[in-house]
Structure 1
Amino acid sequence: MLCIKCGKSIADGSAYCNYCGQKQNAKKPKYHKRESGSGTIYQDKRYKKPWLAWAPSSKYGKGRQYIGCYATRNEARAALEDFMKNGRPELYNATLADIYEMWSKIHFNSVSYSAVKLYSSMWKRFKNVQDLPVRELRTAHIQEIVNSATSKSAADIIKAMATMLCKCAMENDIVQKNYADFVKIPKFEKKEKRIFTAEEIESLWKCSDQKPVQAVLLMIYTGFRRGELLALTVADVHLREGYIVGGEKTEAGRNRIVPIPPNIPELKEFVQQWCSDTGTGRLFPLTPAKFRSDVFDAALEIAHIAPEGLTPHSTRHTFASLSSAAGIKPESLQKIIGHANYATTAEVYIHQDITKLIEEMRKISR
């Protein structure tokens, strides 16, 4: 070979010229075009693993098949050759149900029990595509499920769940694209929540010798969710101090202090009686469905209140409305009710102690 600078003859493969010392250009290895019918490998720098491997269309007669993305060209070539020799990888035909099982085993360990119940409930919405190979899942499938939601919050959860399932499939090189990213959330008309009127609350008080009615009244004056009330135990009740510890769902909502309004001593009497009567340690050892029928619906029937538009969650909205009308400070209400999205100022700089929260609840009366 000749030196690239002085032109003198030097030994083939020399890194430097023996005469002038010039470093010789290293030849980059040539990658020859793959033979027809042997698959495709190419680089796409938009991906973290930029080397993509595709099987040839002639292999299965249905157009070329995506195999996976890899960090290097050699890894992609090895995967393609293995595919051509041994067929599709183990997870190639994985269904959406397979991915859900794989994803849930990991994800459910990092979220609350209520979140697990929510995801499990939303998974039922995917019943029409659960047996579909995830590589055949497209935006249209997910969009149809999202469109079937009856509220924006449900639609948001469905899209988020589909996004995580597709991401799980991508991490296992089953699909190349997250089709859930292209789903659009439809517009929903915001419905005004029905709350208990002053007349309906008075009707409940007239029947407050009945335990179902007492439970509804406690929810109206404390803002406890149905699930939170059902989770309460005797150990959560601190009658002498005047508060109950409970809550779920968000970090802000879990194990929060909820004062019993001092100006409504009847509520403390209700709770004290429940603590004495329970044989299980739980104040209401019921399932959510049983609570709805045997407690909430029963209370409305006892008090002769029309049930249209009223749900157990209506008590929480009623509490928020009563608190606002009574003049309870927003930052105190947000701590009592356990919302996660209260203002940073209230969360970081305003520190409420139990005494102050009880004083705020003193503003509520019958």
Structure 2
Amino acid sequence: MYTRWLAAHTADTEPSQSTLDGYANAYKHCSSITQESMGTLKYKDYQSILDRMRRAGLSYSALKKVRSLISLVEKYALQTEAVAKAYAPLLRIGKNHPVRPHHCFTRQRINRLWKAVDQPGVDTVLILLYTGMRCGEMLAIRKKDVNLRQGTIRITHSKTQAGIRTIPIHHRILPLITARMQQPGDTLIADITGRAYTYGRYSTVWDKVMGLIGGNHTTHDCRHTVATLLDNAGANETAKRRILGHAGGDITERVYTHKGLRQLRKCIELLP
């Protein structure tokens, strides 16, 4: 049933590769029931999967994805009359207790980064702090996606459709981007040999920079910092969403509101 649903769902919605990977990972957690007929499965069969995940210490997000997958497959099974009842609305995943809440970079730590900008990897943290990009988005940028004359970066690989966007380059990081463009390799962020970074390899660079400034941040704290600083500066909400790659809040904003490059640049330049 999962295979049949996935084929139909993919044809209808054209999900991103990261979304498909998420489905596959959630499906693995359901291995105890994948050989069973859906018509024989009951509430306790589904709930036991989630309970086992909770006992194993898996995140709230992981449990939510598994419940979502069960709901999607059950809905398809109902539509095809393979089952007569859905149990997903009854499933419990507990409360969300963040393992580590996100923390903004302080002004002092950002200043430390600028003072140490010549140290390896520091420029990459500043790029994240002045663009609001996800770390994976930054590592995927190819030099052909950077337009120095126009002063923009085009994000072509993102976890969401809204993440495909153009970000104006803040004037403070323009020299850092320019220097990266002159180094070996096809990707903007690469080592001295021109070899692109995987997320795992980049984490070593990140940890060294955090040690340099006495910080204990995750890469996602950069996005949290950008969002907070723009909020504090009174940034236009739609422009902020476009820069961060968030979907619009309502249909009017998503379809009828268009923010030009000049307005996006005005927004990004609110970052101190």
State which of 115, 118, 127 in structure 2 corresponds to 1:209: 118
Match of 1:145 in 2: 49
Secondary structure, aligned partner of 1:222: coil
State which of 189, 195, 206 in structure 2 corresponds to 1:296: 206
Match of 1:35 in 2: none
1:41-77 Cα deviation digits (max 9, x unpaired): xxxxxxxxxxxxxxxxxxxxxxxxxxxxxxxxxxxxx
**2-structure distance, mates of 1:126, 1:114:** 19
1:17-45 Cα deviation digits (max 9, x unpaired): xxxxxxxxxxxxxxxxxxxxxxxxxxxxx
Q: Residues 306-321 of structure 1: matches in 2 within 5 Å?
A: 307=216, 310-321=217-228
Secondary structure, aligned partner of 1:240: coil
User: Contact conserved, 1:207 with 1:213, CA < 8 A, in 2?
Assistant: yes
Secondary structure, aligned partner of 1:244: strand
Q: Residues 61-80 of structure 1: matches in 2 within 5 Å?
A: none
The answer on 1:161 being equivalent to 2:72 is no
Q: 1:296 to 1:141 in 2, by over 3 A?
A: farther
Instruction: State TM-score, norm by structure 1.
Output: 0.62
In terms of Rg, which structure is larger?
A: 1
Instruction: State TM-score, norm by structure 2.
Output: 0.81
Match of 2:197 in 1: 286
Match of 2:193 in 1: none
Q: Residues 211-290 of structure 1: matches in 2 within 5 Å?
A: 211-246=120-155, 248-254=158-164, 256-262=165-171, 264=172, 267-281=173-187, 283-284=189-190, 285-290=196-201
The answer on 1:322 being equivalent to 2:237 is no
**Cα offset, 1:288, TM superposition:** 2.3
Q: How many pairs were matched up?
A: 258
**Cα offset, 1:171, TM superposition:** 5.8
State which of 12, 21, 26 in structure 2 corresponds to 1:122: 26
Match of 1:183 in 2: 91
* Unaligned runs of at least 5 residues, structure 2: 191-195
1 or 2, which has the higher helix percentage?
Answer: 2
Q: Letter of the aligned partner of 2:183 in structure 1?
A: D
Q: 1:213 to 1:120 in 2, by over 3 A?
A: farther
Q: 1:291 to 1:102 in 2, by over 3 A?
A: farther
Match of 1:100 in 2: 2
Q: 1:174 to 1:331 in 2, by over 3 A?
A: closer
**Cα offset, 1:115, TM superposition:** 0.8
Q: 1:120 to 1:282 in 2, by over 3 A?
A: farther
Asked which structure has the greater RCO (Cα within 8 Å, sep 6+), the reply is 2
**1-structure distance, mates of 2:226, 2:146:** 20
Secondary structure, aligned partner of 1:159: helix
